[in-house]
Amino acid sequence: MFWKVFIPVVAFAVILGWGLPLAVAADLTKANASFEVNKMGDMSDFDPNKPVIPTGDTIKIALVASFSGPAALVGQIYYISVLWAAHDINKRGGILVDGKKKLVEVIKADHMGKPDQCKKICERMVLQDKVHVLWGTDGSHLMKIINETANKYKVIAHNTASLTDDLQDATNFSRYAFMSSFSTDQIGRGLANYYGQRKKEKKFYILCQDYMFGHAMAAGFKKGLKEFYPEAEIVGEDYHKLFLTDFAPYLTKIKAAGAEVVYTGDWIPDAANLLKQSRQMGITLPFAHIFLDEPNFLHEVGVDGTKGLVQLSQMYTDNPYFKTPEQIKYYKMWNDLWKTKWQAPFNTKLFEHGGGNIGSYNQQTYWLLSVIERAASTDPEKIIKVWEGDTYRFVNGKTLKMRPCDHKAIQDLYVAEFVVPDEQKVDFNIPPHHWFTGCSYAGPSAKIPADKVLPLMDEKLDRCKGKNGWGE
């Protein structure tokens, strides 16, 4: 009798133990659609300074971002990223939607980094320009406005760059808003997981921007340390105003606190000034970050000043970066144009490789366009139906899943340490075997599996009640 009971129980436990992880892993091993390099159009004439903008009956994407003011550079990064994808689709002849082949039109919508302007420009885009998608943006507080506008007028809002989890919580959720980027909770917990595995540094100082995003970044990291590295110590925590002029007082506090790592979500120009001023002050602490990667200011700081930075990025993968001929082909497609064709401002180091954040925004845009193609319509209801629960594989081989109940992206994350040029070949495995010669950059990477950093789910959101972290 004992064995009759014991054997089935053991069998059940084994099946559950082995089968469940496999079932979970299967979610990101298959993709409903993939970015396929060999299906790309002829990109040889792509020039972001001379964009070919179709008009008329087009699929209209409003690129809502800063194109003036302190964060204008960010808007420029978005622009080339989105424009590339649109140009590719247009060179293929467009997308069949609502019974017609339509080209993709990218419309700049400058919110100037201001909430009132953001609302104004979004409404103009929807009501006057009749855009189908509001693509955004630099600033979670602004993305909230974009999402609200999308919800009000029933158009799709595509969040590729605003990372605050609150954007998709019970209070702010909109059926029309999709967040294909990683989120603050994932980032914080991902980096905490990395340090918990590494166990090399123990004292952390949190320095973030004093707004929605910065506070969310900090919260995610603190939560992650408790989860993955409970013996770690947060020796200080500060929040500075956006576009800060002088970081010196904060840096002095950080140094005095005895921190071993500074965790920050700062983005341009704060990211540049923070790094630059810290090195000028002789502070060589590594930053755990996501946006301290703009090549121009990295080069200004130099190889030694950028060595040891630790970045979590949506576009990092297992080493090496290039694993297939198609990936090399895609990289060279971009890089060759940069070397031979593009003029200022797109001929700087920032745009040399088309990876990093540019690559992320680019691939997320391809995902959007793939969804529209498979929906065969610009009707937001049809797009929603396709996108909820969708899985898509980026050019780097990584698969993302759009969690159906709250429209957040589930994905493996990777963390890379910046190393000197000669050591970058561990990642950049094709000639010249380094990303940059004037600064340290991505080297050894570490994987944070998706199940370790599932996006924060607000259980108060009715759609998510009773669901697991995968939204199932």
Stretch that binds another protein, among 212-220, 235-243, 308-316, 445-453 (CB under 8 A): 235-243
Which stretches does DSSP call E strand in 132-202? 133-136, 156-159, 177-179
299 Cβ neighbours under 8 A, 6+ residues apart:
349, 436, 438, 439
Decide if 122 contacts 64 (C-beta within 8 A): yes
| Interaction of residue 70 with another protein, rule CB under 8 A | yes
Contacts of 353 (CB under 8 A, 6+ apart): 331, 334, 335, 359, 435
Residue 304 interacts with another protein (CB under 8 A): yes or no:
no
Please give the residues from 121 up to 160 whose contact with another protein meets the rule CB under 8 A.
Answer: none
Position 294 contacts another protein (CB under 8 A): yes
**Considering the complex, what minimum distance in angstroms separates the CB of residue 248 from another protein?**
4
Task: Work out how close the CB of 71 gets to another protein at its nearest, in angstroms, rounded to a whole number.
Answer: 7
Amino acid identity, position 207:
L
DSSP-derived letter for residue 454 is P
Nearer to another protein, 197 or 273 (CB): 273
> Least CB distance from residue 437 to another protein, whole Å?
15
Closest of 214, 194, 227 to residue 264, by C-alpha:
214
Q: Rounded to whole angstroms, how far apart are CA atoms 170 and 20?
A: 29
Q: Is residue 467 involved in binding another protein (CB under 8 A)?
A: no
Least distance CB 349 / another protein (angstroms): 9
Options 227, 246, 336, 459; binder of another protein; rule CB under 8 A: 246
- Cα–Cα distance for residue pair 412/448, rounded to 1 Å: 6
Strands (E), 301-449: 310-313, 391-393, 399-403, 408-410, 413-419, 441-448
Residue 235 touching another protein (CB under 8 A): no
DSSP 161: S
Q: Judged by CB under 8 A, does residue 440 bind another protein?
A: no
Q: Does the protein bind another protein through residue 277 (CB under 8 A)?
A: yes
Q: Which is nearer to another protein, 209 or 314 (CB)?
A: 209
**CB nearer to another protein: pick between 71 and 337:** 71
The residues binding another protein (CB under 8 A) are 68-73, 75-76, 210, 238-241, 243-246, 248-250, 252-253, 256, 268-269, 272-273, 276-277, 280-282, 294, 296-297, 299-300, 344-345, 348, 350
